[in-house]
Homo-oligomer: A and B are copies of this chain.
Amino acid sequence: MKTVKKASAAPAPRSQESRGPVTMHDVAALAGVSRATVSKYFNDREGLKADTLARIERACRELDYVPDPHAVSLVRGRSRIVGVILPVISEPFFAEALRAIEEKARALGMEVIIQCSYNDPAAEAAALMTMRSMKVAGVVLTAVASRNNLDLLLRLEQEMRIVYLDSYVHEDCNYVMNDNRQSMAMLTRYLLGRGHTPAYLGAPPVAHPSPEERRAGYLEAMAEAGMAPHFVPAGAQPSWDFEAFGFRHVLDWLAGGAWKRAGVTALACGTDRLAIGAMSACRRFGLEPGKDLAIVGHDDLPISAYLHPPLTTFRQDVAAIGVAAMECLQAQLDGAGAAPYRKRFTGGLVPRDSA
Protein backbone atom coordinates (compact mmCIF):
# COMPACT_ATOMS: atom_id res chain seq x y z
CA MET A 1 0.00 0.00 0.00
CA LYS A 2 1.44 3.26 -1.01
CA THR A 3 -1.29 5.79 -0.54
CA VAL A 4 -2.18 4.76 2.95
CA LYS A 5 -0.10 7.30 4.78
CA LYS A 6 -0.46 10.22 2.47
CA ALA A 7 -3.35 10.95 0.22
CA SER A 8 -1.44 13.10 -2.22
CA ALA A 9 -0.34 10.46 -4.69
CA ALA A 10 -1.84 12.36 -7.59
CA PRO A 11 -1.45 16.10 -8.08
CA ALA A 12 -4.47 17.54 -6.40
CA PRO A 13 -5.00 21.11 -5.26
CA ARG A 14 -4.26 21.69 -1.62
CA SER A 15 -7.34 21.21 0.47
CA GLN A 16 -6.35 23.77 3.07
CA GLU A 17 -5.26 27.21 2.10
CA SER A 18 -1.61 27.82 2.87
CA ARG A 19 -1.03 24.74 4.96
CA GLY A 20 2.53 23.59 5.20
CA PRO A 21 5.16 24.66 2.71
CA VAL A 22 4.18 24.96 -0.93
CA THR A 23 5.91 22.48 -3.19
CA MET A 24 6.40 22.00 -6.88
CA HIS A 25 3.50 19.64 -6.69
CA ASP A 26 1.13 22.41 -5.77
CA VAL A 27 2.44 24.67 -8.48
CA ALA A 28 2.07 21.92 -11.05
CA ALA A 29 -1.47 21.25 -9.97
CA LEU A 30 -2.45 24.90 -10.08
CA ALA A 31 -0.79 25.48 -13.44
CA GLY A 32 -2.28 22.32 -14.84
CA VAL A 33 1.06 20.79 -15.82
CA SER A 34 3.26 18.05 -14.50
CA ARG A 35 5.94 18.33 -11.89
CA ALA A 36 8.59 17.64 -14.48
CA THR A 37 7.49 20.65 -16.47
CA VAL A 38 7.70 22.95 -13.48
CA SER A 39 11.15 21.62 -12.80
CA LYS A 40 12.11 22.45 -16.34
CA TYR A 41 10.76 25.93 -15.81
CA PHE A 42 13.33 26.53 -13.13
CA ASN A 43 16.26 24.88 -14.78
CA ASP A 44 16.14 24.62 -18.51
CA ARG A 45 13.45 26.87 -19.99
CA GLU A 46 14.34 25.77 -23.50
CA GLY A 47 11.52 23.90 -25.14
CA LEU A 48 8.65 25.21 -23.08
CA LYS A 49 5.77 26.94 -24.79
CA ALA A 50 5.27 30.57 -23.93
CA ASP A 51 1.80 29.71 -22.79
CA THR A 52 2.99 27.04 -20.38
CA LEU A 53 5.68 29.36 -19.12
CA ALA A 54 3.14 32.02 -18.32
CA ARG A 55 0.80 29.64 -16.55
CA ILE A 56 3.60 28.33 -14.37
CA GLU A 57 4.86 31.79 -13.60
CA ARG A 58 1.40 32.81 -12.59
CA ALA A 59 0.96 29.80 -10.36
CA CYS A 60 4.29 30.51 -8.66
CA ARG A 61 3.29 34.04 -7.98
CA GLU A 62 -0.10 33.05 -6.73
CA LEU A 63 1.31 30.57 -4.24
CA ASP A 64 4.43 32.62 -3.79
CA TYR A 65 6.39 29.53 -4.40
CA VAL A 66 10.17 29.36 -4.34
CA PRO A 67 12.06 26.11 -4.81
CA ASP A 68 13.39 24.78 -1.54
CA PRO A 69 17.09 25.63 -1.62
CA HIS A 70 17.98 22.72 0.64
CA ALA A 71 16.29 20.18 -1.57
CA VAL A 72 18.00 21.69 -4.60
CA SER A 73 21.38 21.73 -2.92
CA LEU A 74 20.94 18.17 -1.79
CA VAL A 75 20.17 16.79 -5.16
CA ARG A 76 22.66 18.98 -6.99
CA GLY A 77 25.49 18.51 -4.56
CA ARG A 78 26.17 22.26 -4.74
CA SER A 79 24.49 25.18 -3.06
CA ARG A 80 24.01 28.74 -4.18
CA ILE A 81 25.89 29.98 -1.17
CA VAL A 82 29.25 31.66 -1.16
CA GLY A 83 31.34 31.56 1.95
CA VAL A 84 33.29 34.60 3.05
CA ILE A 85 36.03 34.19 5.61
CA LEU A 86 37.60 37.37 6.92
CA PRO A 87 39.97 38.11 9.77
CA VAL A 88 37.41 40.46 11.30
CA ILE A 89 34.35 42.24 10.00
CA SER A 90 34.59 45.48 11.86
CA GLU A 91 37.77 46.67 10.19
CA PRO A 92 36.50 49.23 7.65
CA PHE A 93 38.26 47.63 4.72
CA PHE A 94 36.66 44.26 5.32
CA ALA A 95 33.28 45.70 6.16
CA GLU A 96 33.20 47.55 2.88
CA ALA A 97 34.51 44.56 0.94
CA LEU A 98 31.86 42.37 2.47
CA ARG A 99 29.22 44.90 1.58
CA ALA A 100 30.30 44.87 -2.04
CA ILE A 101 30.51 41.08 -2.10
CA GLU A 102 27.04 40.75 -0.69
CA GLU A 103 25.63 43.19 -3.21
CA LYS A 104 27.22 41.40 -6.12
CA ALA A 105 26.23 38.01 -4.80
CA ARG A 106 22.64 39.05 -4.59
CA ALA A 107 22.76 40.20 -8.20
CA LEU A 108 23.96 36.71 -9.08
CA GLY A 109 21.23 35.08 -7.04
CA MET A 110 23.51 33.78 -4.36
CA GLU A 111 23.57 33.97 -0.59
CA VAL A 112 26.54 34.97 1.51
CA ILE A 113 27.67 33.16 4.60
CA ILE A 114 30.22 34.92 6.76
CA GLN A 115 32.76 33.66 9.24
CA CYS A 116 35.60 35.42 11.02
CA SER A 117 38.97 33.89 11.66
CA TYR A 118 40.30 36.58 13.99
CA ASN A 119 43.60 35.75 12.39
CA ASP A 120 43.61 32.36 14.07
CA PRO A 121 44.67 29.48 11.81
CA ALA A 122 42.54 26.96 13.69
CA ALA A 123 39.44 29.11 13.30
CA GLU A 124 40.25 29.57 9.65
CA ALA A 125 40.55 25.84 9.15
CA ALA A 126 37.27 25.23 10.94
CA ALA A 127 35.55 27.85 8.81
CA LEU A 128 36.89 26.25 5.66
CA MET A 129 35.64 22.84 6.70
CA THR A 130 32.23 24.31 7.39
CA MET A 131 32.16 25.86 3.95
CA ARG A 132 33.08 22.54 2.46
CA SER A 133 30.32 20.72 4.28
CA MET A 134 27.87 23.36 3.09
CA LYS A 135 28.95 22.57 -0.44
CA VAL A 136 29.34 26.25 -1.16
CA ALA A 137 29.57 27.58 -4.67
CA GLY A 138 32.83 29.21 -3.72
CA VAL A 139 34.84 30.82 -0.97
CA VAL A 140 36.22 34.31 -0.64
CA LEU A 141 39.07 34.13 1.79
CA THR A 142 41.41 36.58 3.40
CA ALA A 143 43.99 34.12 4.61
CA VAL A 144 45.47 34.56 8.05
CA ALA A 145 48.84 36.22 8.07
CA SER A 146 50.74 33.17 9.24
CA ARG A 147 49.57 31.06 6.29
CA ASN A 148 49.64 28.00 8.49
CA ASN A 149 46.90 26.29 6.53
CA LEU A 150 48.72 26.07 3.24
CA ASP A 151 48.37 22.29 2.96
CA LEU A 152 44.69 22.35 3.79
CA LEU A 153 44.10 25.13 1.29
CA LEU A 154 45.90 23.31 -1.48
CA ARG A 155 43.73 20.29 -0.83
CA LEU A 156 40.51 22.25 -0.69
CA GLU A 157 41.29 24.12 -3.88
CA GLN A 158 40.92 20.78 -5.62
CA GLU A 159 37.29 20.48 -4.69
CA MET A 160 36.05 24.03 -4.48
CA ARG A 161 36.69 27.49 -5.78
CA ILE A 162 38.68 29.76 -3.54
CA VAL A 163 39.47 33.40 -4.26
CA TYR A 164 41.86 35.17 -2.00
CA LEU A 165 40.91 38.67 -1.03
CA ASP A 166 43.73 41.06 -0.20
CA SER A 167 45.97 38.05 0.31
CA TYR A 168 47.37 34.98 -1.35
CA VAL A 169 49.11 31.87 -0.18
CA HIS A 170 50.88 30.42 -3.20
CA GLU A 171 51.52 30.86 -6.89
CA ASP A 172 48.58 29.91 -9.12
CA CYS A 173 45.88 30.86 -6.69
CA ASN A 174 43.09 33.27 -7.55
CA TYR A 175 43.35 36.60 -5.88
CA VAL A 176 42.06 40.14 -6.00
CA MET A 177 43.77 42.99 -4.25
CA ASN A 178 45.03 46.50 -4.40
CA ASP A 179 48.45 47.11 -5.90
CA ASN A 180 49.93 48.04 -2.58
CA ARG A 181 53.48 48.42 -3.69
CA GLN A 182 52.47 50.88 -6.32
CA SER A 183 50.16 52.87 -4.09
CA MET A 184 52.62 53.31 -1.27
CA ALA A 185 55.36 54.17 -3.73
CA MET A 186 53.05 56.84 -5.11
CA LEU A 187 52.45 58.31 -1.67
CA THR A 188 56.15 58.28 -0.91
CA ARG A 189 57.02 59.95 -4.18
CA TYR A 190 54.43 62.57 -3.44
CA LEU A 191 56.15 63.37 -0.17
CA LEU A 192 59.57 63.34 -1.80
CA GLY A 193 58.32 65.62 -4.52
CA ARG A 194 57.36 68.16 -1.92
CA GLY A 195 60.86 68.15 -0.48
CA HIS A 196 60.17 65.85 2.43
CA THR A 197 62.28 63.14 3.97
CA PRO A 198 59.69 60.52 4.86
CA ALA A 199 59.92 57.75 7.43
CA TYR A 200 57.60 54.76 7.40
CA LEU A 201 55.26 53.15 9.91
CA GLY A 202 53.94 49.75 8.97
CA ALA A 203 50.86 47.93 10.21
CA PRO A 204 50.97 45.23 12.87
CA PRO A 205 51.31 41.71 11.47
CA VAL A 206 47.63 40.85 11.13
CA ALA A 207 47.59 40.75 7.39
CA HIS A 208 49.65 39.37 4.60
CA PRO A 209 51.04 40.38 2.21
CA SER A 210 49.63 43.91 2.01
CA PRO A 211 51.82 45.38 4.75
CA GLU A 212 54.95 43.89 3.22
CA GLU A 213 53.97 45.20 -0.18
CA ARG A 214 53.36 48.70 1.12
CA ARG A 215 56.65 48.68 2.86
CA ALA A 216 58.27 47.55 -0.37
CA GLY A 217 56.61 50.45 -2.16
CA TYR A 218 58.09 52.87 0.32
CA LEU A 219 61.51 51.31 -0.06
CA GLU A 220 61.28 51.41 -3.81
CA ALA A 221 60.45 55.10 -3.92
CA MET A 222 63.19 55.94 -1.46
CA ALA A 223 65.74 53.95 -3.43
CA GLU A 224 64.67 55.71 -6.60
CA ALA A 225 65.39 59.01 -4.92
CA GLY A 226 68.69 57.75 -3.62
CA MET A 227 67.62 58.26 -0.03
CA ALA A 228 68.08 56.04 2.98
CA PRO A 229 64.83 54.64 4.41
CA HIS A 230 63.76 55.31 7.97
CA PHE A 231 61.38 53.15 9.93
CA VAL A 232 59.36 53.72 13.02
CA PRO A 233 60.27 50.69 15.15
CA ALA A 234 57.12 48.76 15.89
CA GLY A 235 56.39 45.62 17.81
CA ALA A 236 55.51 42.36 16.12
CA GLN A 237 52.46 41.89 18.28
CA PRO A 238 49.31 41.30 16.28
CA SER A 239 46.60 43.81 17.03
CA TRP A 240 43.63 45.36 15.26
CA ASP A 241 43.78 48.45 17.41
CA PHE A 242 45.70 50.38 14.81
CA GLU A 243 45.24 53.80 16.34
CA ALA A 244 46.73 52.71 19.65
CA PHE A 245 49.50 50.89 17.83
CA GLY A 246 50.34 53.99 15.82
CA PHE A 247 50.08 56.30 18.79
CA ARG A 248 52.34 54.27 21.00
CA HIS A 249 55.09 53.55 18.55
CA VAL A 250 55.20 56.99 17.02
CA LEU A 251 55.36 58.58 20.44
CA ASP A 252 58.31 56.39 21.38
CA TRP A 253 59.94 57.09 18.10
CA LEU A 254 59.54 60.84 18.42
CA ALA A 255 60.87 60.73 21.96
CA GLY A 256 63.89 58.77 20.74
CA GLY A 257 65.02 61.75 18.69
CA ALA A 258 66.80 59.81 15.96
CA TRP A 259 64.30 61.11 13.40
CA LYS A 260 65.38 64.65 14.13
CA ARG A 261 69.02 63.86 13.69
CA ALA A 262 68.24 62.06 10.43
CA GLY A 263 66.33 65.06 9.13
CA VAL A 264 63.00 63.24 8.79
CA THR A 265 60.18 65.64 8.04
CA ALA A 266 57.32 63.32 7.11
CA LEU A 267 55.74 60.05 8.08
CA ALA A 268 54.05 57.63 5.73
CA CYS A 269 51.66 55.25 7.50
CA GLY A 270 50.48 51.87 6.31
CA THR A 271 46.84 52.76 6.92
CA ASP A 272 44.74 55.77 7.85
CA ARG A 273 44.02 54.34 11.25
CA LEU A 274 47.73 54.24 11.99
CA ALA A 275 48.03 57.79 10.70
CA ILE A 276 45.32 58.93 13.09
CA GLY A 277 47.21 57.43 15.99
CA ALA A 278 50.37 59.01 14.68
CA MET A 279 48.81 62.47 14.46
CA SER A 280 47.64 62.13 18.00
CA ALA A 281 51.13 61.14 19.11
CA CYS A 282 52.59 64.15 17.33
CA ARG A 283 50.39 66.48 19.26
CA ARG A 284 51.16 64.77 22.50
CA PHE A 285 54.81 65.29 21.70
CA GLY A 286 54.19 68.94 20.98
CA LEU A 287 54.34 68.85 17.21
CA GLU A 288 51.66 70.04 14.86
CA PRO A 289 50.88 67.29 12.35
CA GLY A 290 50.87 68.58 8.81
CA LYS A 291 53.13 71.44 9.80
CA ASP A 292 55.96 70.18 11.95
CA LEU A 293 55.63 66.69 10.58
CA ALA A 294 53.82 65.81 7.38
CA ILE A 295 51.69 62.69 7.58
CA VAL A 296 50.06 60.49 5.00
CA GLY A 297 47.85 57.46 5.40
CA HIS A 298 46.45 54.82 3.12
CA ASP A 299 42.83 53.75 2.45
CA ASP A 300 40.86 56.98 2.74
CA LEU A 301 38.36 56.25 5.46
CA PRO A 302 35.12 58.22 5.34
CA ILE A 303 36.32 60.33 8.23
CA SER A 304 39.77 61.05 6.86
CA ALA A 305 38.62 64.13 4.98
CA TYR A 306 37.22 65.60 8.18
CA LEU A 307 40.20 65.16 10.44
CA HIS A 308 42.30 68.05 11.60
CA PRO A 309 44.27 68.40 9.49
CA PRO A 310 42.46 66.54 6.70
CA LEU A 311 44.51 63.49 5.92
CA THR A 312 46.41 63.01 2.69
CA THR A 313 45.90 59.41 1.74
CA PHE A 314 45.35 56.85 -0.99
CA ARG A 315 41.92 55.61 -1.91
CA GLN A 316 41.81 51.98 -2.88
CA ASP A 317 38.80 50.75 -4.75
CA VAL A 318 37.47 48.35 -2.17
CA ALA A 319 34.11 47.87 -3.83
CA ALA A 320 35.75 46.91 -7.10
CA ILE A 321 37.91 44.40 -5.29
CA GLY A 322 34.87 42.80 -3.68
CA VAL A 323 32.97 42.67 -6.93
CA ALA A 324 35.95 41.15 -8.68
CA ALA A 325 36.10 38.40 -6.09
CA MET A 326 32.54 37.43 -6.92
CA GLU A 327 33.20 37.68 -10.63
CA CYS A 328 36.08 35.30 -10.20
CA LEU A 329 33.85 32.75 -8.54
CA GLN A 330 31.21 33.14 -11.18
CA ALA A 331 33.67 32.89 -14.04
CA GLN A 332 35.15 29.72 -12.72
CA LEU A 333 31.78 28.25 -11.99
CA ASP A 334 30.53 28.35 -15.51
CA GLY A 335 33.45 27.16 -17.51
CA ALA A 336 37.13 27.90 -17.49
CA GLY A 337 38.99 26.33 -14.66
CA ALA A 338 42.19 26.88 -16.49
CA ALA A 339 44.03 30.10 -15.82
CA PRO A 340 44.01 31.49 -12.31
CA TYR A 341 42.05 34.68 -11.93
CA ARG A 342 44.19 37.48 -10.59
CA LYS A 343 43.44 41.11 -10.42
CA ARG A 344 45.40 44.01 -9.10
CA PHE A 345 43.56 47.25 -8.60
CA THR A 346 44.76 50.79 -8.39
CA GLY A 347 43.12 53.74 -6.77
CA GLY A 348 44.16 57.33 -6.50
CA LEU A 349 46.13 59.64 -4.29
CA VAL A 350 43.95 62.04 -2.34
CA PRO A 351 46.01 65.11 -1.48
CA ARG A 352 44.83 67.00 1.57
CA ASP A 353 46.37 69.25 4.19
CA SER A 354 48.25 66.75 6.32
CA ALA A 355 51.14 66.66 3.84
Q: Are B306 and A276 touching (Cβ within 8 A)? A: yes
- Taking CB atoms, residues of chain B closer than 8 Å to A242 are 302
Given contacts A90-B96, A90-B99, is CB(A305)–CB(B111) below 8 Å? no
Q: Are B305 and A308 touching (Cβ within 8 A)? A: no
Give a binary string over A119-137; 1 marks a CB under 8 Å from any B CB, 0 the rest. Answer: 0000000000110011100
Give a binary string over A273-306; 1 marks a CB under 8 Å from any B CB, 0 the rest. Answer: 1001101100100000000000000000011011
Contact of A303 among B21, B67, B112, B273 (CB under 8 A): B273
Bound Cα distance A88, B106 (Å): 14
Can you give 13 contacting A-B residue pairs, CB < 8 Å? A64-B129, A68-B74, A69-B134, A70-B79, A89-B89, A89-B95, A90-B96, A90-B99, A92-B92, A111-B113, A112-B115, A276-B307, A308-B308
- Taking CB atoms, residues of chain B closer than 8 Å to A89 are 89, 95-96, 98-99, 102
Bound Cα distance A329, B283 (Å): 47
- Taking CB atoms, residues of chain B closer than 8 Å to A67 are 133
Size band of the interface chain A makes with B: 35 or more
Contact of A90 among B71, B73, B95, B243 (CB under 8 A): B95
Q: Which residue of B lies closest to A88 (CB)?
A: B99
Contact of A308 among B21, B71, B116, B283 (CB under 8 A): B283
- Taking CB atoms, residues of chain B closer than 8 Å to A95 are 89-90, 92, 95
State whether the Cβ of A223 lies closer than 8 Å to any Cβ in chain B.
Answer: no
State whether the Cβ of A164 lies closer than 8 Å to any Cβ in chain B.
Answer: no
For the complex of A and B, 5 pairs with smallest distance between CB atoms:
A95-B95, A280-B306, A70-B73, A66-B133, A89-B99
Bound Cα distance A111, B308 (Å): 42
Could you say how many copies of this chain the assembly holds? 2
Q: Are A74 and B77 touching (Cβ within 8 A)? A: no
Q: Which residue of B lies closest to A20 (CB)?
A: B77
Q: Are B133 and A302 touching (Cβ within 8 A)? A: no
Contact of A243 among B70, B305, B308 (CB under 8 A): B305
Interface residues of A in 84-110 (CB under 8 A from B): 88-90, 92, 95-96, 98-99, 102-103, 106
Give a binary string over A136-157; 1 marks a CB under 8 Å from any B CB, 0 the rest. Answer: 0000000000000000000000
- Taking CB atoms, residues of chain B closer than 8 Å to A88 are 99
Q: Are B303 and A276 touching (Cβ within 8 A)? A: yes
Bound Cα distance A66, B133 (Å): 7
Contact of A71 among B74, B302, B305 (CB under 8 A): B74
Give a binary string over A257-273; 1 marks a CB under 8 Å from any B CB, 0 the rest. Answer: 00000000000000001
